[in-house]
Amino acid sequence: MNDSFDVIVAGAGPAGAQCARDLATRQYDVVVLETESEDVFPRQSNKSTGGTFPPMLATFGIPDEAVMHFTDTVVVESPNEHFTLKQAGAVLDFGAFKTYLVEDGQQKGATYRFDARVSKPIMESSEIVGVQYNGSKKVYGDIIVDATGPSAPLAKALGVSDLKRTQQAIGIEYELEGVDLDTAGYANLTNAMMLRLGHDYAPGGYSWIFHTGGDTAKVGLCYIQNESYQRYAETRRTVDGYLQQWLDTDPRFSTADRIEGRQHRGSAHIQAPGSLSTDNFMAIGDTVPTIDPLWGEGIQKGMRSGRAAAIAADQCLIPSEPTTTAEDLSLYNELWHTEVAPGHDSRLWMAELLYLASNDRYDSLIRDLNHFDAATLRKMNNGNKLAIAKLLRFDDLSLLVQFVKHQFST
């Protein structure tokens, strides 16, 4: 007899593990295949800073034990300015968080197979009917979900995702102790998540300091190899080299030390989504990619996409004669565009425009942000074009020309 399930999920990240939790709660027979070993999980995939917000914790029932530190503010910094927004947040212990999602899913009835590296789809009559893992092992399912993040072996093979190397953002982070969170001349970062725009430390991207309690913080940076990277980056400096340069030159780290074994690195693609689903198949999380293009919020977005996939699977599997064609699964596409990542396209162009701007323009942007009320700022963050227009200045014309040229060349 074939080894078979209602749903196969490849990858136990936030997206896949949440999809499995929801399907197990609805009593479906679901198996999650995860490439890492159970005894070290998550090791390589423990890649994220884990900055998130209360709606994620409440929506998905995440316990305080998975949170390293609760925060009160979000700070946006440029080379010479800063802007502080009162906004509750949480910095997760990403490893503990992933472990919680897995254990909770198992308690709800999901089957987990660790040490199970998915390599390719099993096809019958041009449709995926199962997956091959660890070389020759096979498992079959009515619906298959690729949640393997950027590796995406199934979504790529089926042509559902076309993750472009040129759109890949790479990130590195250290956890530090001895950080001076309230240095004169800088924003007070006590109980804050801070994002910094500046091509000196993160050419073509941004860097961050997330307070994790006491004098400890997660400190990292990421960038995409875009035009600003080509313009501002030192050719020989690696992403690790950029982080070291920041640690060596910013007075907030003059007495800081790295906490042993607490280093995280990874990548995600900042681009438009692919086709999201096809017959018997859905792609979720960073496989799509679902991550917010502007600020890199991928955890909540990924989990919401996992939930949307579970809802679509439920709708297909409930009838006495279930059908799982692309048309049946198109509910997932609809939910993705309306609930999971609304305005993804406008946030993509906002991100592209933002990372093309100069350090001086970042300073003037932060000065302007300090003059807007909370309602206007919320509209800007939600992609409202009229609100964003208030941020534009006459000398942005050359930036817009550069942006349009870039759009036509890609």
Ligand X SMILES: Cc1cc2nc3c(=O)[nH]c(=O)nc-3n(C[C@H](O)[C@H](O)[C@H](O)COP(=O)(O)OP(=O)(O)OC[C@H]3O[C@@H](n4cnc5c(N)ncnc54)[C@H](O)[C@@H]3O)c2cc1C
Indicate the residue among 10 and 366 with the shorter CB distance to ligand X.
10
Indicate the residue among 266 and 293 with the shorter CB distance to ligand X.
266
Give the angle subtended at the CA of 276 by the CAs of 153 and 305, to the nearest 5°: 95
Dihedral class, residue 381 (left if φ above 0, else alpha if ψ from -120 to 50, else beta): alpha
- Of 170, 173, 194, 181, nearest to 262 by C-alpha is 173
Encoded tokens for 211: 């307070």
Which residues fall within 8 angstroms of residue 297, CB to CB, at 6 or more apart?
51, 52, 291
d(CA 162, CA 272): 9
Indicate the residue among 87 and 267 with the shorter CB distance to ligand X.
267
Indicate the residue among 49 and 228 with the shorter CB distance to ligand X.
49
- Beta-strand runs (E) in 53-117: 67-77, 82-92, 111-113
In the complex, the smallest distance separating the C-beta of residue 240 from ligand X, rounded to whole angstroms, is 12
Q: Which residue's beta carbon is nearest to the bound ligand X?
A: 298
Paired with 324 in beta bridges are: none
**Cis amide prior to 150 (ω within 30 degrees):** no
Encoded tokens for 149: 């993040």
Encoded tokens for 14: 């936030």
Indicate the residue among 161 and 328 with the shorter CB distance to ligand X.
161
The conformation of residue 337, written as its DSSP 8-state character, comes to I
In the complex, the smallest distance separating the C-beta of residue 389 from ligand X, rounded to whole angstroms, is 28
In the complex, the smallest distance separating the C-beta of residue 102 from ligand X, rounded to whole angstroms, is 9
DSSP 395-407: GGHHHHHHHHHHH
In the complex, the smallest distance separating the C-beta of residue 324 from ligand X, rounded to whole angstroms, is 21
Indicate the residue among 191 and 364 with the shorter CB distance to ligand X.
191
Residues lying near ligand X in the complex (CB under 6 A) are found at: 10-16, 33-36, 42, 45, 47-52, 117-118, 147-149, 151, 153, 171, 173, 220, 264-268, 285-286, 291, 296-300, 302
CB count within 10 Å of CB 229 equals 16
Q: Are 355 and 204 in contact (CB under 8 A)?
A: yes
Question: If DSSP codes are grouped into helix, strand and coil, which group holds residue 217?
Answer: strand
In the complex, the smallest distance separating the C-beta of residue 333 from ligand X, rounded to whole angstroms, is 17
The conformation of residue 79, written as its DSSP 8-state character, comes to S
In the complex, the smallest distance separating the C-beta of residue 5 from ligand X, rounded to whole angstroms, is 15
Amino acid letter at 249?
Answer: T
Strand 137-146 and strand 192-197: the pairing is: unpaired
In the complex, the smallest distance separating the C-beta of residue 104 from ligand X, rounded to whole angstroms, is 15
In the complex, the smallest distance separating the C-beta of residue 212 from ligand X, rounded to whole angstroms, is 12
Indicate the residue among 54 and 251 with the shorter CB distance to ligand X.
54
Indicate the residue among 16 and 130 with the shorter CB distance to ligand X.
16
CA atoms within 13 Å, Cβ hemisphere of 47: 17
Indicate the residue among 204 and 285 with the shorter CB distance to ligand X.
285
In the complex, the smallest distance separating the C-beta of residue 24 from ligand X, rounded to whole angstroms, is 17
